[in-house]
Amino acid sequence: MLGALKNVSERNVYDEIEEELYEMIVGRIREGDPVLDVGCGECHLANLLAKRRGCRVTGVDTSDSGFAKGMAEAEAWGTSDLVECLKVDARSLNSTIDKMFKVAVSVYALHEYEEALQVLKEVRKVLKPRGKILLVDFLKGSTAESLWSERYYTPTEIKSMMRKAGFGGIELEFPWDRELVFATASDRSH
Ligand SMILES: C[S@@+](CC[C@H](N)C(=O)[O-])C[C@H]1O[C@@H](n2cnc3c(N)ncnc32)[C@H](O)[C@@H]1O
């Protein structure tokens, strides 16, 4: 059962739910090795997945500014052998990464991609047959809009992009009173 929020007005609810959110994501990625984390930032999720699931994780991000922190965490957690962080633009994943993944995850990054559809198409290309994708992002109309004045996608837009990118079995959930969207799907091209 997902936690309900009491007063979401101007609080940064995302800080409050961060730990529970990561736990939920780890719970969703029970099987699947290797894992791709698109827009990995400081590689925290990559380290957590490696630590908890023992899986190999490749994190990619256009910015490597968070990698040093991620590598320090990997060192502290003993996950260095399982986690790699690469400075890669996900718009050209397929031509830059010589690897296929069972699962791709992307947290709080979809809305930041300059060409989100292109990124999703590239992610699908590096997924193994019946590989799965899990997208987590802020939702249009969520508290994130008043906190950061960014533009977020509607459920319809997300579903449509995923379909256009070649994913099937698309399912959307809206945990924490629609503060977030969890979008899952699988590659339907194989
Ligand atoms: C809000 S941060 C989220 C970071 C991390 N996933 C987290 O949950 O803390 C979004 C990340 O997406 C990355 N990003 C944006 N466009 C990208 C692209 N085309 N390819 C790879 N990463 C991208 C940004 O550099 C940034 O690190």
- Mean pLDDT confidence for 152-161: 98
The per-residue pLDDT for range 80-126, each reduced to its tens digit, is 999 999 999 999 999 999 999 999 999 999 999 999 999 999 999 99
**Average pLDDT value for the chain:** 93
Residue nearest to atom 2 of ligand 1 (CA): 109
Cα 40 to ligand 1 centre (Å): 6
d(CA 155, CA 172): 7
d(CA 45, CA 47): 5
Q: Which residues line ligand 1 (CB under 6 A)?
A: 39-41, 60-63, 89-91, 107-109, 112-113, 119
Q: pTM for this structure?
A: 0.94
In the chain, where the domains are located: 13-187
pLDDT at 8 over 80: no
pLDDT at 4: 46
- Asked whether residue 190 carries a pLDDT value surpassing 70, the answer given is no
What's the token pair of residue 31?
Answer: 């099987």
Which residue lies with its CA nearest to atom 4 of ligand 1?
41
* Secondary-structure class of domain 13-187 per CATH: alpha beta
**Ligand 1 atom with the shortest distance to the CA of 89:** 20
